[in-house]
Amino acid sequence: MAGSSSSLPPLCEKISYKNYFLRAVDLTILGLLFSLLLHRILLMKQSDNVCVVAFLCESFFTFVWLIITFIKWSPAEYKPYPDRLDERVHDLPSVDMFLTTADPVKEPPILVVNTVLSLLAVNYPANKLACYVSDDGCSPLTYFSLKEASKFAKIWVPFCKKYNVRVRAPFRYFLNRPAATESSEFSKDWDMMKREYEKLCRKVEDATGDSHWLDADDDFEAFSNTKPNDHSTIVKVVWENKGGVGDEKEVPHFVYISREKRPKYFHNYKAGAMNVLVRVSGLMTNAPYMLNVDCDMYVNEADVVRQAMCIFLQNSISNSNNCAFVQYPQDFYDSNADELAVLQSYIGRGVAGIQGSIYAGSGCLHTRRVMYGISLDDLEDDGRSLSSVATRNYLAEENLAREFGNSKEMVTSVVNALQRKSNPQHSSLTDFLEAAQEVGHCDYENQTSWGKTIGWLYGSTTEDVHTSLGIHSRGWTSSYISPDPPAFLGVMPSGGPEAMVQQRRWAAGLLEVLFNKRSPLIGVFFGKLRFRQSLAYLYILTWGLRSIPELFYCLLPAYCLLHTSALFPKGVYLGIIVTLVGMHCLYTLWEFMSLGFSIQSWFVSQSFWRIKSTCSWLFGIPDIILKFLGISETVFVVTKKTMPEIRSESESGKSQQEDDCPNQNSGKFEFDGSFYFLPGTFIIFVNLAALVGFSVDLLQQLSYSHGGSSSGMAEACGCVLVVMLFHPFLMGMFEKGKYGIPLSTLSIAAFLAVLFVVFSLGKLVY
Ligand SMILES: O=c1ccn([C@@H]2O[C@H](COP(=O)(O)OP(=O)(O)O[C@H]3O[C@H](CO)[C@@H](O)[C@H](O)[C@H]3O)[C@@H](O)[C@H]2O)c(=O)[nH]1
Ligand SMILES: [Mn+2]
């Protein structure tokens, strides 16, 4: 394994991004927020409801900023040096790579195929890799596509390695033709590969419409008479790397799994799928490290595994094996996620500088032992072997079966994993098919610790954050690396119904974690969660709750304008709030521009943030209330992923920029008849009504007395700001088709807005 000489240069370095100026800005904003609260208290009159509501909202915003200041205090990340790996490490550890897919319609098989190909082709010894695909859709089409992909892989992987291709997902690689100066051998190979890839696409496409191949091939028998939610376990070894000679030895093991599903069982969505992947891979290859990606997140940098290994192995060289996982940022090749990029860059690096990055569900390498539930305290001082107490606890035969389930083979593999031994080399993957069937059963996990303390944790639709919290609460740290170019790229739904569904699921899932027994509020007292780390968790776990003050704050200016009361009292208070808004705008704008994003992207993101919190996160709250009342469970609705068309330059005639952002739409927001768009439409109606009322008043005053009073001006500015932020709804009122707000939503929102206006004006009577 790793050479121990410490005179050699390290495999990675921790880079710290401390910035005193930014700290000063964060503290100034915090100071302004506190003085704002103080003024509210001083100005508060008895029974001034507006003032109380505004105070509560502002307290929440201050609390959020306080957390942000804590998180951002000492940002850091790791810089790996993969070039040093070969001279220092003679025998690289194995890695099992997991990919999950759930629905062949929302997640087109050709997209899954591309991600799989990019995994199979990573720059790492092929005999140290195994790729496992979990298909919750139990789709013969997905299986068929993967089989075809494995044939293509036999020419694709050697091609990538021969020419040191960087982007190893064909659909992205073939977007750009190589420069004319490249050798003619390469050009020939390139053309041949492109033709073969197009053939693969056609095969998958043809199979999509027509299913005669299903009956013709015995291999698909397992899929007959199955439904996605009702079938037995299917495990297929698509390709086994038996060494051998030539190109074939370049393709890693490749296994397809569709775990058993029965209508009366709850399947725990992605977390359940991940745990089956952990078990089946444990039986077959039992690698000490596990890489997991969503089906759309292809590898964009061939060295990803080597980079992460630099962190793990440097840890092991320096005897401080406390890093449980290495997380890469989630980057996207469409332009719908600029805001997420900024969030990861500032908040993400901040958290990385505390106890370590939060696991984000994809683009992460985990250590198998940690996933089997051990704590940092269970290791000896050398950071390798289990302590004698832990050995007694974990390795006792009866405990093992109780915790990990009744499969003998599984128990053996767990013992090996905990002691960092590999499974015996001589066996073939197919020898484990029977055991794999067993561990894929619905009731295998009954009465075991899977999902409770072992593996991916159950009980939340954001299983990633939940699992991450479990790991950090056991004292482990994690590392964050963000190479340039990005390590993984995926798709993000554009503004519209898909995004709303996804955001609502996130908000509900995060609240599930906030209110369960692993809550960071508890972890910091009873677990090994560091204080600032617990604040970092609080920051995201409270996204759903933030919707309430945001909603109120979008309505307050309009209410006050209609009610002719002051939301922003003149004098010091008004001065502070204007400074705050100005500073916050400049600060966030700087954050965007420093990462190369445009002013427009900043504005769209500010707008989308308000929309998602008031229109989507808001519905996460009833979701968890219903769950806690035992009325309904939260649901993991898979987001639709669209595969961009490949166009040759001559056909498309489009610019490089457009080719690189295949999902870029016209920048317009999409609507449908769902209730998500009701709050936004309501907000825009109410604010417009208030502004119209205010303008009429102002005109009247002007005509009577040649100079209106300035009362209400600050609130009117507030309304203008809200209208600007919700401008997609303003445009949606005049658009048709998918860009227009449906009449039903408009009518209900208008009705509610009238009630609101009457309510606000009604107060005048008293
Ligand atoms: O029952 C299910 C549901 C989903 N998935 C898979 O889970 C992944 C993520 O689903 P997606 O619809 O893309 O959700 P996102 O909201 O985009 O995913 C983000 O948020 C999830 C929940 O926090 C994390 O699991 C993901 O890794 C993270 O990328 C996909 O590969 C799915 O195929 C399953 O395998 N089984
Ligand atoms: Mn996704």
Q: Cα-Cα-Cα-Cα dihedral of 134, 462, 335, 489, to 10°?
A: -40
Of 444, 476, 492, the domain-final residue: 492
Ligand positioned closest to the Cα atom of 637: 1
102 Cα–ligand 1 center, Å: 9
52 and 154 share one domain:
no
Contact (Cβ atoms closer than 8 angstroms) between residue 495 and residue 336: yes
Pocket test for ligand 1, best of 103, 139, 294 (most atoms within 8 A of CB): 294
pLDDT tens for 529-546 read: 999 999 999 999 999 999
Q: Which atom of ligand 1 is nearest to the CA of 506?
A: 23
**pLDDT above 60: residue 6:** no
348 and 210 share one domain:
yes
CA distance 68 to 684: 29
CA distance 298 to 157: 15
Sign of CA dihedral 100, 102, 105, 109: positive
**pLDDT above 60: residue 457:** yes
The per-residue pLDDT for 565 is 86
* DSSP output for 97-125: EEEEE--TTTS-HHHHHHHHHHHHTSSS-
The per-residue pLDDT for 455 is 97
ipTM of this complex prediction, to 2 decimal places: 0.99
Backbone angles phi, psi at 272, to 5 degrees: -65, -40
Question: Does the residue 92 lie in any domain?
Answer: yes
Question: Does the residue 6 lie in any domain?
Answer: no
146 and 178 share one domain:
yes
Q: Where do we find the tokens 């027994």?
A: 517
- The residue that leads in pLDDT, 3 or 266, is 266
Domain at 170, CATH number: 3.90.550.10
**pLDDT above 80: residue 647:** no
The per-residue pLDDT for 38 is 94
692 and 742 share one domain:
yes
Burial of 598 (0-12, 13-18, 19+ CB in 10 A): exposed
Question: Does the residue 507 lie in any domain?
Answer: no
Cβ atoms within 10 Å, residue 265: 15
What are the C-alpha distances in Å from 394 to residues 278, 323, 374?
Answer: 18, 20, 8
**pLDDT above 90: residue 655:** no
**Domain span at residue 452?**
83-492
CA distance 457 to 475: 17
Q: How many domains does the chain have?
A: 2
What are the C-alpha distances in Å from 399 to residues 218, 376, 442, 448, 687?
Answer: 41, 20, 21, 10, 62
Burial of 214 (0-12, 13-18, 19+ CB in 10 A): middle
462 and 529 share one domain:
no
Q: Cα-Cα-Cα-Cα dihedral of 47, 53, 59, 65, to 10°?
A: -160
Contact (Cβ atoms closer than 8 angstroms) between residue 108 and residue 198: no
| Residue closest by Cα to atom 7 of ligand 1 | 270
Q: Which two tokens stand for residue 657?
A: 């920029």
| Residue closest by Cα to atom 32 of ligand 1 | 101
Backbone angles phi, psi at 323, to 5 degrees: -90, 115
Q: What is the pTM of this model?
A: 0.94
Question: Does the residue 656 lie in any domain?
Answer: no
201 and 275 share one domain:
yes
| Residue closest by Cα to atom 25 of ligand 1 | 361
Residues known to be catalytic: 136, 464
Spatial strand order of the sheet with 253-258 comes to: 234-239, 253-258, 129-135, 95-101, 289-294, 364-367, 323-327, 477-480
CA distance 700 to 690: 15
Ligand 1 binding pocket, CB closer than 6 Å: 100-102, 107, 134, 136, 269-270, 273, 294-295, 361-362, 462-464, 502, 509, 636, 638-639
Question: Does the residue 185 lie in any domain?
Answer: yes
**pLDDT above 90: residue 495:** no
Question: Does the residue 753 lie in any domain?
Answer: yes
**pLDDT above 50: residue 504:** yes
- Give the mean model confidence (pLDDT) for residues 622-647: 86
539 CB-near residues (< 8 Å, 6+ apart)? 64, 67, 68, 71, 347
The H helix count followed by the E strand count for the chain is 31, 13
| Residue closest by Cα to atom 9 of ligand 1 | 294
The one-letter amino acid at 167: V
Question: Does the residue 142 lie in any domain?
Answer: yes
Q: Which two tokens stand for residue 21?
A: 């100026």
Q: Which two tokens stand for residue 299?
A: 């590898």
225 and 366 share one domain:
yes
- Average pLDDT for the chain: 90
204 Cα–ligand 2 center, Å: 22
486 and 622 share one domain:
no
Backbone angles phi, psi at 77, to 5 degrees: -160, 170
64 and 146 share one domain:
no
Ligand positioned closest to the Cα atom of 363: 1
Strand, helix or coil for residue 317: helix
Question: What percentage of residues in the chain have a pLDDT greater than 70?
Answer: 94
